[in-house]
A and B are shown apart, each in its own frame.
Chain A
Amino acid sequence: MNKVIEVSGLTKKFGNFTAVDHITFDVTEGEIFGFLGANGAGKTTAMQMLCGISMPTAGEGTVAGYDIIKQNELIKRNIGYMSQKFSLYEDLKVWENIRLFGGIYGLSEKIITEKTDALLKRLDFEQERDTMVKYLPLGWKQKLAFSVAIFHEPKIVFLDEPTGGVDPAMRRQFWEMIYEAADQGITVFVTTHYMDEAEYCNRVSVMVDGRIDALDSPAALRHQFKADSMDEVFRQLARKAERGD
């Protein structure tokens, strides 16, 4: 199996503070990889280094086959990114947002039009084509943001707490979309707070104080920590944390 993400000793320091402390792991193509950790554990910083928007202090690695230090511009072409904050433009219409990001990723006008039609149909969003994004309910916005993040068919999509603040039914639908993307061969790298979502992942890693303290499939982790659920696994690990929020 191809490794689409491989990093070793990846570290990020801000002054004296070590946000990410020598993490080493890999992600296989087509996998749904859950990246867990309490607030402040260093998840977002680690993800930003993988996406090429933050320079590592130490360590090395490749994402989508490109070096994260030297080839970060090439990485950017091959990934999709959905940030923790809502990442579409509220004052643009649904189709305008799609066209903007299509344009940024260099897709031609024709392809953008075709794919937009298909996308809106698949999401059952056709009547919302001309709706200003700010008028959409939060769950719909998240679905749209995810669709935009994978619109250019990246090798990997990074999702930073994509379901924050969304109701359970919507989260369920959102995860169906993630599965669809994985079926198309897109590797999904997702951070989350919800432990039930961790169960949906092929493998999960748990970050504590900038380190990865556990990494395996949810079933194996439950077994290893003699726990009934991922929630319990997480609690056992998080108890060791010295950093607060």
Chain B
Amino acid sequence: MKQFLAFVNKEFYHIIRDNRTLLVILGMPVVQILLFGFAINMEVQNIRVAVYDPTPDAFTTGIAERIQQNAYFTYLGNVYSMNEMEESMRKGELELAVVFQQNFQEDLVHSGDAAVQLLSNSSDPNRGSIAVTYATAIIAGYQQEQMSIERIPFQIRTENRMIYNPLMKSSYMFVPGIMGLVLMIICTIMTSVSIIREKERGTMEVLLASPLKQGTMVFAKTIPYMFISIINLIIILLLSYFVLKVPVNGNLLLLLLISVIYILLTLSYGLTVSTIVDKQINAVIVSAITAMIPVLMLSGMIFPIDSMPRVLQALSTVVPARWFIAAVRKVMIEGQGFFMVWKEVLVMIGMTFFLLGITIMNTKKRLE
């Protein structure tokens, strides 16, 4: 125990003395959650819009007015030819053009069908498609309104009820993914460097020649990183709650328990990497690549696992973040209890023991 505490102490000093790394470690989750959270989830605003209406009438003016008044749009004015519109869009001034067909009202009244084109600048596909969705919704709303007043049979082509909400919803889905990613990156990289640093500095030999047990050393190394990761976890949860407004629908303690298990798992993974590669720089590269890419691609963070090919689905089962993200979604977003996540929790615990076992075996093998 004395050995253990002395060693834990030492590890804390290493971390605290290394100001720059500490700053990165604690700053990264803040930057990432804000970046990911806002870049992906923030409502698209200030869409620069213009209207081309060759034959203005009551309907077209009504729709144009709705769009002009809408808070998400910035109205640039009317354009008077398709050329002018294209020109403006090419320059990047215009993001969305609302183009009415000729004789809009006339067609609508006589045939019950009229067309409005929504041309969006899709150089930013996300923003573009959201702009179209907004405009479609405004038009649909207007049509409905008119129908009830004038009793004219309209053909309603767009129907988007979730339009004012889907962004919020995707942000709900994203926070667990970001938690999985950030914790994976930080924990893995931090710890992967820590054993190799001892080898590179030559202190490993001295430790091996001392009565210190490999197991003691490995566990002592995880403690300070665990402590820092929990601080990170709290930062992430606070930011998602207060800044991204993602509620915690389930039991907070259960959520913390799941997260702590995941932190242990990622720390163990970092230690495993650290016993396999031989240079600090390789450790950073290996852990960054093996920690990031599977989390992005195979964890269900971005691409739903259910719609993956069978092979990839099978592959995703070895990605720790997959289980963590699934469990966090269930608890945090869906508000489910322990009985819905015990499988994920068990898988994560199993993986942790497996990796720790490999780590201890590998450390021993080194010089013996």
Contact = CB atoms under 8 A, between A and B. Distances in A.
Interface string A120-159: 0000000000001000000000000000000000000010
Contacts of B210: 76, 81, 101, 104-105
Contact of A106 (B7, B206, B207, B211): B211
Contact of B205 (A87, A91, A99, A104): A87
The A interface is mostly helix, strand or loop, or mixed, namely: loop
Contact of B5 (A85, A88, A103, A158): A103
Give the size category of A's interface with B: 35 or more
Contacts of B80: none
Interface in B1-48: 2-3, 5-7, 9-10, 13-14, 17-18
A92 interface: yes
Interface string A56-99: 00000000000000000100110101111111111110001001
Contacts of A87: 202-203, 205-206
Contact of B209 (A76, A100, A102, A106): A76
Nearest to A93: B13
A5 B229 CA distance: 47
Nearest to B212: A104
A158 B210 CA distance: 12
A28 interface: no
B203 A89 contact: yes
Interface centre among B6, B201, B207, B208 (most CB of A within 10 A): B6
Interface centre among B3, B18, B209 (most CB of A within 10 A): B209
B124 interface: no
A96 B10 contact: yes
A108 B201 CA distance: 27
A53 interface: yes
Contacts of B306: none
Contacts of B202: 83-87
A104 B3 contact: yes
B141 to A, nearest CB: 64
A96 B6 CA distance: 9
Contacts, number: 86
B150 interface: no
Interface string B196-225: 000001110111111110000000000000
Given A53-B209, A92-B13, A104 B7 contact: yes
Nearest to A103: B6
Nearest to B199: A85
B224 to A, nearest CB: 14
Given A79-B209, A86-B202, A100 B7 contact: yes
A100 B6 contact: yes
A54 B10 CA distance: 26
Contacts of A79: 209
A52 interface: yes
Contacts of B207: 104
Contacts of A132: 17
A102 B9 CA distance: 13
Contact of B2 (A48, A106, A158): A106
B253 interface: no
A99 B12 CA distance: 14
Contacts of A48: 205, 367
A170 interface: no
B120 to A, nearest CB: 55
Given A99-B6, A104-B7, A81 B209 contact: yes
Contact of B10 (A55, A100, A158): A100
B205 A89 contact: no
Contacts of B6: 99-100, 102-104
B206 A83 contact: yes
Contact of A91 (B5, B18, B208): B18
Contacts of B203: 85, 87-89
A88 B206 CA distance: 9
A17 B208 CA distance: 24
Contacts of A83: 202, 205-206, 209
Contacts of B18: 91
Nearest to B366: A53
B246 to A, nearest CB: 39
A51 interface: yes
A81 B206 contact: yes
Contacts of B206: 81-83, 87
A99 B9 CA distance: 10
7 contacts: A54-B367, A85-B201, A92-B17, A104-B7, A104-B212, A105-B210, A158-B209
Interface of A: 48, 51-55, 73, 76-77, 79, 81-92, 96, 99-108, 132, 158
Q: What 7 A-B pairs have minimum CB-CB distances, sorted nearest first? A: A103-B6, A85-B202, A81-B209, A87-B206, A83-B205, A53-B208, A91-B17
Given A81-B205, A85-B201, A104-B7, 6 more contacts: A81-B206, A81-B209, A90-B201, A91-B18, A106-B2, A132-B17
